[in-house]
Amino acid sequence: MSYRILVVDDEESIRFTFNAFLSDAGYVVETAGSLEEALEKIESISFDAIFLDILLGRESGISALQVSRERHPNVPVIMATGAPEITTAAEAVRLGAFDYITKPIHQDELLRQAKLAVEHKMLVDQREAYQLRMAAVFQSVHEGIMVFDEEMKLLEINTAAEDILCCETSLLGLTPREIGAYCPPMKMLQETIEERCEGEIFQLESTDGAGQPLIFGLTMAPLTGHGQRALGAVLVLRDESPSAGQVE
């Protein structure tokens, strides 16, 4: 896979040198000599990393950094300058620059920064794709899933759980006891959840909002971190009512 890098600098000699070094290392390189040209390329081309001069003639590369972070937050931007100032560096980092390097930039340092940047983007993209896949699975399963944090406040709930609990109110951030005030079926679950009866399967009966019988299975599993530190719990609900799965 060829990674694409944008080099933005108002000095032609630097653009030429960076282009040569990066191209020889196998990167696909685009260059821009002005803020306007840089913004056009950031808007129209997908990059894996950007080297951006902080001073572009009378204009500031900070503007391009801001646009890049807004449009493509996963793309690392390495700021470069021949006149480093603490305030400028701090501003660049505050706005999300991946790193800040000073000129003259030697070939080894340029390639090192490029490698770190594209690897960082690859990892961020992979993590984002994984999270999207997990979110799709989370919402598509038929079982209801509720995820609680270490204080037993609801972090996540899928559509199936909302349907089983027959609750239209937003429940995020609430404890099981607080949820019970909005969702009658949840009152039956409070003791089980608060005691954290891990791994056991229960069958509970209640009624839905229309007064119809509601039967559901319940199981619970802990969320633990390093050293078995408790991070919360996952509650899985399965609608076992006679009407579950029937098509009207």
Do 89 and 179 lie in one domain? The reply is: no
Q: Nearest 5°: phi and psi at 158?
A: -95, 170
CATH number of the domain where residue 43 is located = 3.40.50.2300
Each residue of 175-221: pLDDT tens digit? 888 887 777 677 767 766 666 555 556 666 666 556 667 777 788 88
- The structure tokens listed for 16 are 């030429």
| Bridge partners (DSSP) listed for residue 205 | 215
- The answer to pTM > 0.85 is no
**246, part of any domain:** no
Residues 54 and 93 in one domain: yes
Q: 77: buried, middle or exposed (CB in 10 Å: 19+, 13-18, 0-12)?
A: buried
Are 65 and 11 members of one domain? yes
- Residues 10, 127, single domain; the answer is yes
Interval 74-130: pLDDT, tens: 999 999 987 666 567 677 778 889 998 888 899 999 999 999 999 999 999 999 999
Nearest 10 degrees: Cα torsion 167, 179, 156, 210? -20
Strands 49-53 and 77-81, by their bridges, are parallel
Last residue of a domain, one of 100, 133, 166: 133
159 close to 188: Cβ distance less than 8 angstroms: no
Rank 28-32, 139-143, 168-172 by mean pLDDT and report only the highest: 28-32
What is the rounded average pLDDT of the residues 26-40? 97
What pLDDT sits at residue 192?
63
Mark whether 155 and 234 lie in a shared domain. Answer: yes
Task: Point out the domain boundary residue: 85, 116, 133.
Answer: 133
3-state secondary structure of 30: strand
Q: Count structural domains, the chain.
A: 2
**Mean predicted confidence (pLDDT) in 168-177:** 83
Beta bridge partners of 8: 32, 52
Asked whether 58 and 35 are in contact (CB, 8 A), the reply is no
3-state secondary structure of 8: strand
Q: Are residues 50 and 71 in the same domain?
A: yes
- CA distance linking residue 186 with residue 180, whole number of Å: 5
Last residue of a domain, one of 133, 153, 174: 133
Domain coverage including residue 197: 141-239
